Structure 1
Amino acid sequence: MPALVLFRRRWRIGSDDFVFPGIWSFLFRILWLTAVFVVYTSRVSFLECHGRDLLMTYLIGLMTILSVTICLEFIVVYISAQGSIFNASPRRHLPLFLYVRVFVFIIEILFSILGAIWMFSEFEFDKTNSCERNIVRLVQAAVIISWVLLFVVCVSVLVLFNPWHHDHRDGDDNGEEEHVINPAVQLKWEQRCKMLCCCAGKDDNSQVAYAEVAAILSKFFHGLDTVPSDIIAGLILMQLEQERLMRNGEQPTLTRPCGPCLSAPSQPAIEEVPQALHYLRFASSAYGWKMFVCADLCCGICKLCEYCKNDQRICCGCLRQSSRTEKDNCCQCDTAAVKYTTGLEEEDIIYISFHNKVFEIPFFVALDHEYQSVVVTIRGSLSFRDALTDATAESIKLDIEGQEIYAHKGITQSAVYIRDKLEKEHILERAFQQAPDYKLVIAGHSLGAGAGTILSMLLYNTWPGLKCYAFAPPGGLLSTEGVNYTSDFVMTVLLGEDLVPRLALGTLEELKARMIDVVKRTDRPKYQTLLGGCWWTVCGFPENLPYSSVLSDVHPTEDPESRRPLINNQSTPRPRPNYTGVQPEGNGGTVGGEAGGGRGRIELYPPGRILWVTEDVRHTRRLCCNKPSYKIRWATCQDLSHIIISPAMVTDHLPINLSKALQEIEETTCVTFHTDEPPV
């Protein structure tokens, strides 16, 4: 940080990112030079080879180039290791040596061509056998290695190449119009989205999603001169500071509103576990055969094939397509996975659709005889189309009479699609004709949980008494009014440090501000931060935590001011961009850029009542193979007000891990009740 400027372009790499690749290249070329030098000095029989002048020129030139390259790599590594992430002044001369390195690399290409000419020139060494085979193998290896390195460098240049032609930042952070985005910059982001999600299709919904996601990304990264390694280093430093704060029992200072704090229900949280676990099986089954196989890599395929073999209707699915099934594959593997996971029979499934486009996600409707309910289950994110739906994170007002509720735009459009499908096909009416006394339950995980929440709000007046189980829904889903509105019929269930229920435009802005603040304060080189992060990931944090500003123990003579936790020492935040274009009214769920009507953004939060499953620290694991112990409690949006950086932020989102945690709680509860002890 900032990004490297070379050939009047700003690249996706920093001047302090050459340490590790430079060391690798340095050691590799030393070994290569040693091998060539040993062969050259100990073998004189190559003087009898045809084209020996060309061969000697190649070997001498190769050793010279390798020697010069080794010296340049050492200098580049040394300069790149100087300074800190934000202090690039000690590395200001690095571009000069990179220009020299490019020139030497061009000469290296020419000598690689020279070696290839000798090696393949009329195949003289094959006809006369005048050269020793070791000499031929050495030249062949040298030429092949040279071209492999050339290919690697070309691929790296393409990855790190920035298509923007200017060498200055995209915007001025200090200007009054700091959030006015250049249309050309937004167009570049749109092109990147289309390139990344090229398989998402080119329909109208996709084009709208590309444009809106590009607008969000261009505003979010506006004026942020960083490279990917800066973000990784910043996350490592933030994880270190968060660990320190948690050990001290402190909380980071945040500028984003924490959201509504709903009172906990009178019913104990542990009593909700059986039903939550039951409907989580429905939510997990909606992912189809892919999630089913991933959850059981050893025997998943065998179980699914055996199930298809025993069910003739599924085995002959390519010949007999059911009118209740839409867009399943010819063997109906997704339907088979749903039935196997939930235990449903063929006649229990009223309608099942695996149709997937942007703003159109798979779902199924089935009869659950165990809990006497009609279950609408919605699938979570499993494709680039779903990712575009997730990323269309602007706010939109819901069409609910008498309510001023804003919600995630992409998820809302997905819920409207499912509602229209249910009404057009009269799916719910057909389900309740078969089971008129059943209740309506909506379940989903991740994106499916968000869409299920919005769908339940749209159907609540039509089907009173419905219940929604939202497993790990997106954090940026509903405004404050929406959270209050869903408190009676939506139950959110999440595990530990799951990222998704904490993920919203507001929390991302907080994360960006805190990360930049921590990175600015550190005085250590980036490579030390990255090495420390790898060590802590494998071995865990030490008992005595280093401070983020110093990755080693603090020197006794150091200024005490530098020892304060960095997250709590933020600079005054600037007004955040209004991603929605909506001018919020009142103070419910909004944050203004300035007091008295500045530009603002509607803050969005997770829905309904929140059941939070966490690992019980009172029952720590003595061995890594032992099962963890979990506890469950009611939580509020305030408990999810900021993103926690840890490896568990990803693994805790997987439905299989949430299911294991709920099963452990249920088993522990049964054992506890059996022994007449109070439940944990």
Structure 2
Amino acid sequence: MPSLRMFGRDWKVAVDDLAVYAGVAGLWHVVWVIVEIVFLARATAESDQPCIDSEIHLFTWYMSVDIVCFLLYALLLFYTLRGSILDVGARKPAIYILYGISAIYTFLLVINIAASVLKNQFVAPCQDAHRERLALAIFICHWIFWGVWALAALLAFDPFATTSVEQRYAARLWLLKCCSAGASEARPGAAEHIGEICDRAYSTQDEKMESSTPMSQIGALMTLVFTGVDMTTTDYATALILVRNAQRMDREDALAAGVGKPEVAPIPLDMLEDAAHYLPHALSIYGWASNVLNKQDIAAWGCGASCVAPCTGKDVHVGDNMLFSSKNMTIQGVKVMTKSNPETDLLYMSWDNEIQGLLPYYICIDRPRREVIISVRGSLSAADWMTDLLVLPVEVDANFLGCDPSSMVAPEDVKIETTASRRRLISAHKGMLGCAKTIAADLRRHKVLDAVLKSDQHAREALKHDIYKQDCSDHQLVVVGHSLGAGVAALLALHLRSVYPGTRCWAYAPPGGLMSPELSAAMRDYCTSVVCGRDLVPRLSLSNMEILARQMIECSARCKQPKVRVILHPGKKWKRDDLFKPEAEMSADARKTLEAYMRNSGSSHCAGGKVIEARDFLTPGKLLYYEANDSDIADALVFTPQFVDNKEFAKNGMLISTFAVDMHMPWMYQMAVDKALDDAHRGLPSTRVEVAKLEGTCYAPEAAAQTTQQAETDIEAAGGRPS
């Protein structure tokens, strides 16, 4: 950090990214110096042959190049290991060393070309077979040296003279999606123009926002979060490792101080059973992934031609390749995981997948519970990831809500429209709201719900299949989903309640930055969010991203160790004194970067932009949290279900750990709900590990009493305590 700048270009790597490359390249050149010494020794012993002199001269040049390269790479390694991530000044001499390496490799290209031209003149007449093979190996390997160096330079090269930080984020997303990120003018010194970036990316003019592509919007968002700090990929990885160690150290310090958590009230057994019942529906829509993750036979085709037509809405025959490779496995996943019969229970299934558009989903009858279930798939494609990152707040209009949005806003939350502030909008995550609206339109178009829930004769005649003649008018509608699907399911349930008043929702691992607090509170009676342990996604809101960015910059500024030592030991439990230095000992470069970040961070640059709405976003409805103990072994995890307050959960930041991503996986949620339900059935209290409140955990000491009281209220609303 920052990106390397050579030949008037900002490259895609930083100087301290080159430590491993310098070490490997230097060692490689040393090996070939030894080989060339052996070769020249044998050649000198045969100096009476006519072509030996030219051969010795050529390979002497090769050996000289290797010796110089070794010395330069040794110096480069020395300087890349100097200082921590933000100590840029300690590594400045490395730039001049890289210029020297570029010059020597240019000279190597000349030698390689000369050797290619003269090879036949000195190899054929006077070499024995062994030395000829050795000479050929030296010759080929030096071409490889040059080719590897040229390839590395090409991969790190930025063709533009100056590229803004915003453009770099958009370019990385372009590589992920393999499509254009849209035109965005280059500008130098992005850190000095954060206000301009925010104004352009989050303008209140709708036409201006809609004119930019998803990648450009996400790039602008990441620039806002990191306020123009130029970080490479390895900088992010190292900073996250540092934050994880800092959080672990804080937890250990708090444990040593004896700080604990309040007691939690038990969760009603029927609620735990509901959580375990609806989860397979939320996971089965993943299709082939759900079969693999649950170790099912992916070659078992459990659905015949009789169910294919209603499921797809088309006359698709069983021999269709797509049906066998993915669609039929999705149907098989639904059959195995939910114990339903696709021929009579699976009403409709869509496989369409678009950015901010249709997601795969299905409609299924749950006969034992007399319910119709809509399951929306979570993230499984690049298009889904783009949708996840489109966090720009969008107002939820009255047509989608089925009521006046202002009725959900408390009077004290309404702001007077001025140039400095604007009224509080009922808004939601742009990408997921777009998906919810598209699925709602798809439901209206196919009229499957009208046919089975309202016994609409016109809808049944239009669908032309006996499966839709079933009378489910006494069934309740339930919408479920996991991850991205959970966010879309919650917004979809919000819309469907205006048509089907009894609609309920179970959202597993919903994104933290989903909707306005007013919407979340309005859904408490019919929507339950389920969060497992240290799952990163439910904590992933714009405000928490800003908190995490600040922690990353602060930890990087106080880091003692070089980047390569941190990133090569990701699981090491560092001691505080070995990893972090006191604030007073920070280098001038680190202090300058930190002060610039703190000066530009926060809402000062975007106080009037739409993005400020997203800082308050929450998970939907009431929050059922399966707290995990501190074990790093999956089988040793113990889960304690409890109600927590959405706002308290949202304000405490993200937990960075080895389980932060694993906890989001479907099998971890299956493990959590199954273990907690099994403990409840056996009458066993879940084991607690007393962990202190820190930024990043679930409870704040000052909010403990309020949280416990809220949990009691939630239990009474859910039907009281079990006897």
Structure 2 SS opposite 1:672: coil
Task: Trace 1:194-593 onto structure 2 (pairs within 5 A).
Answer: 194-198=174-178, 208-249=213-254, 268=267, 271-296=270-295, 300=296, 303-305=297-299, 307-308=300-301, 311-313=303-305, 323=314, 329-331=322-324, 332-333=327-328, 334-345=330-341, 346-359=343-356, 360-399=358-397, 400=401, 401=404, 402-403=407-408, 405-432=426-453, 433=455, 434=470, 435-531=472-568, 533-536=569-572, 541=573, 545-546=576-577, 548-550=579-581, 574=600, 576=602
- How far off is 1:488 after superposition? 1.3
The number of residues matched between the two structures is 602
Shift in alpha-carbon separation, 1:140–1:287, aligned structure 2, 3 A: farther
Shift in alpha-carbon separation, 1:636–1:353, aligned structure 2, 3 A: same
- How far off is 1:358 after superposition? 1.4
Corresponding position of 2:195:
none
Shift in alpha-carbon separation, 1:104–1:2, aligned structure 2, 3 A: same
Deviations 1:560-580 (A, max 9, x none): 999xxx9xx999665535999
Q: State the distance in 2 between where 1:535 and 1:267 align.
A: 35
1:667 aligns with 2:678: yes
Q: State the distance in 1 between where 2:321 and 2:550 align.
A: 45
Name the amino acid aligned to 1:576: G
Q: Which stretch of structure 1 is more off in the superposition, 470-479 or 367-376?
A: 367-376
Shift in alpha-carbon separation, 1:349–1:199, aligned structure 2, 3 A: farther
1:629 aligns with 2:638: yes
Q: State the distance in 2 between where 1:15 and 1:192 align.
A: 20
Shift in alpha-carbon separation, 1:545–1:191, aligned structure 2, 3 A: closer
Name the amino acid aligned to 1:666: L
Structure 1 SS opposite 2:254: coil
Deviations 1:523-582 (A, max 9, x none): 443333334x4351xxxx26x5546424xxx9xxx98999xxx9xx99966553599997
Partners of 1:439 and 1:466 within 8 A in 2: yes
Partners of 1:115 and 1:143 within 8 A in 2: yes
1:132 aligns with 2:131: no
- How far off is 1:187 after superposition? 6.2
- How far off is 1:142 after superposition? 2.7
Task: Trace 1:96-115 onto structure 2 (pairs within 5 A).
Answer: 96-115=96-115
Q: State the distance in 2 between where 1:113 and 1:506 align.
A: 57
Partners of 1:496 and 1:613 within 8 A in 2: yes
Deviations 1:112-169 (A, max 9, x none): 33444455x49975xx8x63333233233333333333333333223322344138xx
Unaligned runs of 5+ in 2: 183-208, 256-262, 410-425, 456-469, 686-720
How high is the TM-score relative to the length of structure 1? 0.79
- How far off is 1:231 after superposition? 2.1
Corresponding position of 2:664:
653
Deviations 1:24-56 (A, max 9, x none): 112222122112212331456876989655533
**Cα RMSD (Å) of the superposition?**
4.0
1:17 aligns with 2:28: no
Structure 2 SS opposite 1:79: helix
Deviations 1:485-525 (A, max 9, x none): 11111111121111111112221111112211222223443
Partners of 2:43 and 2:56 within 8 A in 1: no
Q: Percent identity?
A: 24
Structure 2 SS opposite 1:477: coil
Q: State the distance in 1 between where 2:122 and 2:286 align.
A: 58
Shift in alpha-carbon separation, 1:208–1:403, aligned structure 2, 3 A: farther
Shift in alpha-carbon separation, 1:633–1:103, aligned structure 2, 3 A: same
Name the amino acid aligned to 1:64: S
Name the amino acid aligned to 1:2: P
Q: State the distance in 2 between where 1:548 and 1:449 align.
A: 39
Q: 1:165 aligns with which of 138, 148, 161?
A: 161
Shift in alpha-carbon separation, 1:207–1:132, aligned structure 2, 3 A: farther
Q: State the distance in 2 between where 1:573 and 1:636 align.
A: 32
Q: State the distance in 1 between where 2:50 and 2:350 align.
A: 71
Partners of 1:200 and 1:385 within 8 A in 2: no
Partners of 1:324 and 1:350 within 8 A in 2: no
